[in-house]
């Protein structure tokens, strides 16, 4: 029995690997000669991939749940004392399992693409399936070689060390990594279609139309994954922030920035036939950056360039990255000229002009973050010197770029295509501008805020929301209470985008406000004593110890009183896991609509506690804004947008006000 | 018509006035005393953590370093002196804000280079004449005549 489960996992991986081989061979053959391959053959190959990946994932979960320590992955990441919930999530808390999950998600996306490919006459589709097969070969190959979780140990240990403590502490581990993977892996689909279109020497918008769903699914999941990751970091890590510009965080942000640029430039190509070559560049870059991100997080290269050859995973990812870049850009260089669009914007003062500005800003943003992330690695590899690139650098670069992007967001969606006159812009933006300047004045005079950043962001955000609302009301047919929902449902692409913009505006306001108007304090309190913070009286009442199967928890009970009444009891704690020497702190967070109070333990003695206290205004709205952005993506792709591939109707043109 | 125009001008005036109020308010606001120690702490990397500054880290090492920063600020040493003090002990690695000199100069040049090169490429692309060599001058005349005809027809229809 102990050997059966890993053996089943092995069978699954090999089945998936075989399926990927067959899919890529038959897919390319079908692209060259559609009559040589039947669709059922492709379906069989995809079936093998999906079946194999599901079998492998199931075997992994069964092995974890049955404490099967004869399997290497279980012996390394599991312990008998791990609670059920974190046992399930350990399936992706370490390298081998997370690549199995990756392969499973990739197989799922491949099956979704297969559903679109109605017959082998669809040469764009069969070619895309072939490229998906090639990428799957890499991931199934990785699981069967350097990242194999199914190795059978000759002398199984009686118990294991358990998962990484940070990954066994919070419910978010069940959501953040899978969402991030759904996002990362999803960008393989547009990459596959782009490669297929280049192989066919077939430009045009068909590959963009057919990957629109996959793009938006991937983008929305990646957005949700990023926001949840920030939330998790805020709730768990205890340093009082949500974004540290850590290389691992940047690795997820960079593909998001480029993918956001791609979503926008795809619109320009579909509507105006421009930026065709640029779209190929962006889609290859997005896919390559997801691989680079995984390389950075999984190879250990970030910790030190010297540690990365220790596992075979780093070189494998690096090799695959080089391959993707070389093949992708070579193909693009050979065929790009043929597929490049000749159309140029008639005037830069137009929707496509603002789209162009948005693309330049987003790619510059991605480039800056990328160079800041890679620079220390490159310097250390070349000279052996260690340098740091941290928050001050990234903030200095990100703030002006973000302001420019917010401005583009306020103007772009309300600018007509082809040519925008000042008159039209004034008509559409005068009321939003009035509200924005009123908001800015109110924040200064009534709110007494002296931070220029906060005032500017508030003004621009109000303009974005107001311009969007105005557009909705003006373009909706009468009567409005019926017309508005009809417009929202009818033009999902546009209004989904607007929802995402509003979400981003909310996020920008919270970032500015929580950064500039935060209150911090470090206090040392004796037992029974009180201190004042943010108009509350804090009393350190007692500390307690709770023994759990896998950890010893020590917490401090800090009572917050307002006017003598108990308002909240903070229980920040230190978790000492059985097999780890270092205790891991977990902060206590009191969220409210106007502010968060954040209490982190610095030191905990029996009679004295040292606390880091933070008060962040509006903090909870950060997650709301992120959720709005992701919801905007999902709204844009919902509804009946699927149409037969042959049909070539244009998207309905936005009604102009 | 006239009232409309007045309304427009009023609107524009109101926007400018409100913005001016905000700007004047910001300029005359009493700047809070900057927390020099906190600003310095944010620029120094915590040696035992993952990519956070000593201002953010709850670790004991960071706490000790914060105490050193506070002491030196109280002793009246300049920002540069304090930064150099830590740099001498921990190396360039401790600077979260890479200086625009030495081995991190190239990092600051990269975005500038990207903007310059990107801008140059864009200008070249825009200047490149549209590639329509495939049309002979005869064909172009044909197109022009057809367009003129079509235009005149539209004009006839539009003018009553």
- B67 class by beta-carbon count within 10 Å (0-12 exposed, 13-18 middle, 19+ buried): exposed
CA distance B145 to chain A (A): 23
- Rounded to whole angstroms, the Cα distance separating A251 from A242 reads 15
CA distances from A300 to A74, A125, A377, A388, B48 (A): 21, 37, 11, 17, 17
Q: Considering only the beta carbons, identify the residue of A438, A585, A602 that sits closest to B63.
A: A602
**What does the pLDDT read at residue B160?**
37
CB contact under 8 A, A444 and B18: no
**Contact assessment for residue A508 and residue A461, using Cβ atoms and an 8 Å cutoff:** yes
Q: Considering only the beta carbons, identify the residue of A246, A371, A385 that sits closest to B103.
A: A385
**Contact assessment for residue A492 and residue A636, using Cβ atoms and an 8 Å cutoff:** yes
Residues of B whose CB is below 8 A from A438: 18
Q: Considering only the beta carbons, identify the residue of A372, A459, A612 that sits closest to B58.
A: A612
CA distances from B118 to A176, A337, A355, B46, B129 (A): 35, 19, 16, 36, 19
Residues of A whose CB is below 8 A from B98: 375, 387-389, 393
CB contact under 8 A, B19 and A440: yes
Q: Is the pLDDT of residue A326 over 80?
A: yes
Chain segment B97-155, per-residue pLDDT in tens = 888 888 888 999 999 999 999 889 888 877 765 555 566 777 778 888 888 877 766 55
Residues of A whose CB is below 8 A from B26: 444, 450, 452, 455
CA distances from A557 to A70, A529, A532, A580 (A): 42, 12, 16, 24
Residue A77 CA to chain centroid, in angstroms? 25
For the CA atoms of A184, A190, A191, A197, the dihedral, rounded to the nearest 10 degrees, stands at 180
Q: Considering only the beta carbons, identify the residue of A387, A433, A455 that sits closest to B22.
A: A455
Residues of A whose CB is below 8 A from B34: none
* A428-448 burial: b if 16+ Cβ within 10 Å, else e: bbbbbbbbbbbbbbbbbeeee
Is some CB atom of chain A closer than 8 A to the CB atom of B76? no
* Angle of helix A188-199 versus helix A206-236 axis, rounded to 10: 160
Is some CB atom of chain A closer than 8 A to the CB atom of B58? yes
Edge-first strand order for the sheet with A588-591 is: A519-526, A608-617, A595-604, A588-591
**Contact assessment for residue A341 and residue A273, using Cβ atoms and an 8 Å cutoff:** yes
Residues of B whose CB is below 8 A from A375: 98, 104, 106-107, 110
Residue B29 CA to chain centroid, in angstroms? 25
Q: A179 is written with which tokens? A: 């969402």
| CB hemisphere CA count around B67 (13 angstroms) | 7
Residues of B whose CB is below 8 A from A389: 96, 98, 104, 107
Going by the DSSP 8-state scheme, the letter that residue A547 receives in this structure is E
- Rounded to whole angstroms, the Cα distance separating A629 from A502 reads 7
List, in sequence order, the alpha helices (H) in A70-205: 72-77, 84-89, 95-116, 123-144, 176-186, 188-199
CB contact under 8 A, A244 and B51: yes
3-state secondary structure B122-138: HHHHHHCCCCCCCCCHH
* Better pLDDT: A464 or B55: A464
pLDDT band at A15 (very low <50, low <70, confident <90, very high): very high
**Contact assessment for residue A297 and residue A251, using Cβ atoms and an 8 Å cutoff:** yes
Calculate the average pLDDT of chain A: 89
**Contact assessment for residue A647 and residue A244, using Cβ atoms and an 8 Å cutoff:** no
What integer is the mean pLDDT of A613-640?
92
Q: Is the pLDDT of residue B159 over 70?
A: no
Q: Is the pLDDT of residue A657 over 70?
A: no
Q: Is the pLDDT of residue A161 over 80?
A: yes
Residue A154 sits at φ, ψ, to 5 deg, of -65, -40
- Rounded to whole angstroms, the Cα distance separating A133 from A49 reads 9
Q: A249 is written with which tokens? A: 């965080």
- Asked whether the CA dihedral A245, B88, B66, B101 is positive or negative, the reply is negative
- Give the closest residue to A620 by CA, choosing from A533, A509, A536: A509
- Rounded to whole angstroms, the Cα distance separating B157 from B160 reads 7
Cβ neighbors of A649 (< 8 A, separation 6 or more) are: A643
Question: For chain A, which residues make up each domain, given as ranges?
Answer: 1-154, 407-516, 519-617
- Give the closest residue to B98 by CA, choosing from A586, A555, A385, A99: A385
Nearest residue in B to A243, CA atom = B52
- Rounded to whole angstroms, the Cα distance separating A573 from A556 reads 6
Chain segment A209-247, per-residue pLDDT in tens = 888 889 999 999 999 999 999 999 898 887 888 998 888
Q: How many CB atoms lie within 10 A of CB A347?
A: 11
Residue A559 sits at φ, ψ, to 5 deg, of -95, 125
Cis ω for the linkage preceding A479 (within 30 of 0): yes
**What does the pLDDT read at residue A102?**
95
- Rounded to whole angstroms, the Cα distance separating A514 from A627 reads 18
Q: What is the largest CA-CA distance in chain B?
A: 88
Task: Give me the residues of B, 79-138, that contact A with CB < 8 A.
Answer: 91-98, 103-104, 106-107, 110-111, 114-115, 118, 122, 125-126, 130-131
CA distances from A641 to A44, A111, A295 (A): 28, 19, 35
Q: Considering only the beta carbons, identify the residue of A344, A364, A390 that sits closest to B97.
A: A390
pLDDT band at A645 (very low <50, low <70, confident <90, very high): very low
**What does the pLDDT read at residue A236?**
85
**Contact assessment for residue A620 and residue A235, using Cβ atoms and an 8 Å cutoff:** no
Residues of B whose CB is below 8 A from A602: 58, 63
Residue A431, beta-bridge partner list: none
pLDDT band at A304 (very low <50, low <70, confident <90, very high): low
Q: How many residues does chain A have?
A: 657
Q: Which of B24, B25, B32, B112 to mutate: most A Cβ within 10 Å? A: B25
Cβ-Cβ contacts under 8 Å between A and B: the total is 136
- A478 class by beta-carbon count within 10 Å (0-12 exposed, 13-18 middle, 19+ buried): exposed
- Rounded to whole angstroms, the Cα distance separating A633 from A225 reads 13
3-state secondary structure A307-321: CCCCCCHHHHHHHHH
- Rounded to whole angstroms, the Cα distance separating A156 from A158 reads 7
Query: What is the C-alpha R_g of chain B?
Result: 32
3-state secondary structure A640-651: CCCCCCCCCCCC
Q: Is the pLDDT of residue B18 over 60?
A: yes
List, in sequence order, the alpha helices (H) in chain B: 2-28, 36-42, 60-74, 79-90, 105-127, 137-158
A349-358, B72-81, B85-94, B141-150: range with lowest mean pLDDT: B141-150
- Rounded to whole angstroms, the Cα distance separating B67 from A36 reads 75
pLDDT band at B157 (very low <50, low <70, confident <90, very high): very low
CA distances from B71 to A188, A196, A614, B64, B82 (A): 54, 64, 23, 11, 10
What integer is the mean pLDDT of B71-83?
90
Give me the interface pTM, i.e. the ipTM: 0.81
Going by the DSSP 8-state scheme, the letter that residue B44 receives in this structure is B
CB contact under 8 A, B130 and A342: yes
CA distance B120 to chain A (A): 13
pLDDT band at A325 (very low <50, low <70, confident <90, very high): very high
A387 three-class SS: coil
A605 three-class SS: coil
Q: Considering only the beta carbons, identify the residue of A241, A246, A440 that sits closest to B18.
A: A440
Q: Is the pLDDT of residue A108 over 90?
A: yes
Q: How many residues does chain B have?
A: 160
Q: A421 is written with which tokens? A: 């006159």
Q: Is the pLDDT of residue A644 over 50?
A: no
**What does the pLDDT read at residue A385?**
84
User: The pTM is what?
Assistant: 0.91
**What does the pLDDT read at residue B26?**
87
A6-10, A144-148, A185-189, B139-143: range with lowest mean pLDDT: B139-143
Q: What's the CA angle centered on B31, arms B29 and B32, to 5 degrees?
A: 130
What integer is the mean pLDDT of A397-405?
95
Going by the DSSP 8-state scheme, the letter that residue A125 receives in this structure is H
Q: How many CB atoms lie within 10 A of CB A48?
A: 22
Residue A646, beta-bridge partner list: none
CB contact under 8 A, B104 and A387: yes
Q: What is the tally of helices (H) and strands (E) in chain A? A: 19, 10
**What does the pLDDT read at residue A308?**
56
- Rounded to whole angstroms, the Cα distance separating B12 from A462 reads 17
Q: How many CB atoms lie within 10 A of CB A174?
A: 14
Residue A543 sits at φ, ψ, to 5 deg, of -125, 150
**What does the pLDDT read at residue B99?**
86
Residue B147 sits at φ, ψ, to 5 deg, of -65, -45
* A115-126 burial: b if 16+ Cβ within 10 Å, else e: ebbeebebbbbb
CB contact under 8 A, B51 and A585: no
Calculate the average pLDDT of chain B: 82
Chain segment A490-545, per-residue pLDDT in tens = 889 999 999 999 999 999 999 999 988 998 888 999 998 999 998 999 999 989 99
- Rounded to whole angstroms, the Cα distance separating A257 from A409 reads 15
pLDDT band at A646 (very low <50, low <70, confident <90, very high): very low
Q: Which of B10, B13, B15, B42 to mutate: most A Cβ within 10 Å? A: B15
């Amino acid at each position: 029995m102990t050997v059966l489960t890993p053996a089943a996992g092995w069978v699954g991986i090999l089945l998936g690997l075989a399926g990927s081989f067959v899919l890529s061979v038959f897919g390319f053959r079908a692209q060259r000669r559609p009559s040589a391959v039947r669709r059922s053959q492709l379906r069989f190959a995809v079936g093998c991939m999906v079946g194999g990946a599901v079998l492998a994932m199931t075997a992994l979960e069964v092995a974890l749940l049955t404490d099967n320590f004869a399997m290497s992955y279980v012996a390394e990441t599991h312990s008998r004392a791990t609670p059920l919930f974190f046992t399930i999530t350990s399936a992706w808390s370490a390298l081998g399992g997370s690549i199995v999950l990756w392969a499973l998600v990739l197989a799922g996306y491949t099956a979704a693409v297969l559903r679109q490919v109605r017959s082998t006459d669809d040469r764009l589709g069969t070619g895309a399936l072939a490229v998906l097969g090639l990428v799957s070969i890499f991931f199934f190959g990785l699981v069967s070689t350097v990242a194999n979780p199914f190795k059978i140990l000759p002398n199984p240990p009686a118990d294991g060390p358990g998962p990484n403590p940070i990954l066994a502490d919070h419910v978010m581990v069940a959501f953040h990594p899978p969402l991030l993977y759904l996002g990362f892996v999803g960008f393989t689909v547009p990459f596959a279609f782009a490669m297929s279109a280049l192989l066919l020497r077939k430009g045009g918008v068909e590959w963009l139309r057919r990957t629109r769903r996959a793009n938006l699914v991937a983008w929305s999941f990646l957005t949700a994954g990023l926001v949840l990751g920030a939330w998790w970091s805020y709730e768990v890590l205890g340093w009082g922030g949500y974004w540290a510009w850590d290389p691992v965080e940047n690795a997820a942000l960079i593909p998001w920035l480029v993918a956001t640029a791609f979503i926008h430039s795809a619109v320009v190509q579909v509507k105006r036939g421009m930026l065709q070559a640029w779209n190929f560049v962006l889609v290859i870059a997005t896919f390559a950056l997801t691989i680079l991100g995984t390389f950075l997080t999984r190879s250990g290269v970030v910790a030190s360039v010297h540690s990365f050859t220790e596992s075979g995973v780093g070189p494998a990812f690096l090799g695959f990255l080089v391959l993707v870049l070389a093949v992708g850009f070579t193909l693009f260089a050979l065929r790009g000229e043929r597929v490049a669009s000749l159309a140029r914007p008639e005037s830069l003062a137009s929707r496509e002009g603002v789209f162009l500005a948005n693309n330049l800003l987003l790619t510059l943003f991605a480039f800056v973050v990328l160079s800041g992330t890679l620079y220390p690695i490159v310097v250390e590899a070349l000279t052996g010197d260690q340098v740091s690139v941290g928050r001050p650098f990234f903030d200095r670069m990100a703030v002006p770029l973000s302001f420019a992007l917010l401005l583009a967001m306020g103007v772009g969606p309300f600018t007509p295509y082809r040519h925008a006159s000042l008159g039209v812009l004034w008509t559409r933006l005068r009321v939003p501008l009035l509200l924005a300047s009123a908001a800015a004045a109110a924040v200064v005079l009534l709110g007494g805020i002296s931070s220029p950043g906060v005032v500017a962001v508030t003004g621009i955000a109000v303009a974005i929301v107001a311009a969007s609302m105005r557009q909705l009301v003006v373009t909706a047919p009468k009567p409005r209470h019926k017309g508005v929902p009809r417009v929202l449902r009818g033009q999902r692409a546009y209004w989904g985008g607007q929802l995402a913009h509003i979400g981003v505006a909310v996020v920008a306001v919270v970032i500015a406000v929580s950064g500039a108007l935060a209150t911090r304090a470090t206090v040392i309190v004796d037992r029974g004593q009180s201190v004042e913070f943010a108009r509350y009286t804090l009393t350190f009442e007692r500390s307690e110890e709770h023994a759990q199967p896998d950890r010893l928890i020590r917490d401090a009970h800090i009572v917050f009183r307002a006017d003598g009444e108990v308002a909240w009891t903070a229980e920040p704690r230190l978790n000492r896991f059985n097999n780890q020497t270092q205790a891991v702190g977990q902060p206590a967070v009191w969220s409210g609509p106007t502010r968060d109070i954040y209490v982190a333990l610095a030191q905990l003695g029996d009679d004295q506690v040292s606390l880091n206290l933070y008060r962040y205004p509006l903090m909870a709205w950060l997650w709301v804004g992120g959720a709005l952005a992701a919801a905007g993506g999902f709204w844009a792709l919902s509804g009946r947008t699927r149409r037969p591939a042959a049909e070539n109707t244009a998207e309905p043109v936005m009604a102009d006000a | 018509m006239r009232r409309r125009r007045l309304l427009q001008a009023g609107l524009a005036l109101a926007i400018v006035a409100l913005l001016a109020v905000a700007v004047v308010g910001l300029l005359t606001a009493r700047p809070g005393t900057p927390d020099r120690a906190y600003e310095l702490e944010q620029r120094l990397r915590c040696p035992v953590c993952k990519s956070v500054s000593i201002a953010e880290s709850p670790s004991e090492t960071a706490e000790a370093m914060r105490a050193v920063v506070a002491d030196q600020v109280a002793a009246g040493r300049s920002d540069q002196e304090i930064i150099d003090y830590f740099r001498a002990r921990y190396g360039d690695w401790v600077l979260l804000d890479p200086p625009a000199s030495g081995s991190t100069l190239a990092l600051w040049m990269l975005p500038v280079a990207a903007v310059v090169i990107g801008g140059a490429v864009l200008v070249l692309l825009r200047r490149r004449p549209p590639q329509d060599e495939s049309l002979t001058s005869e064909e172009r005349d044909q197109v022009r005549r057809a367009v003129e005809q079509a235009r005149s027809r539209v004009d006839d229809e539009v003018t009553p």
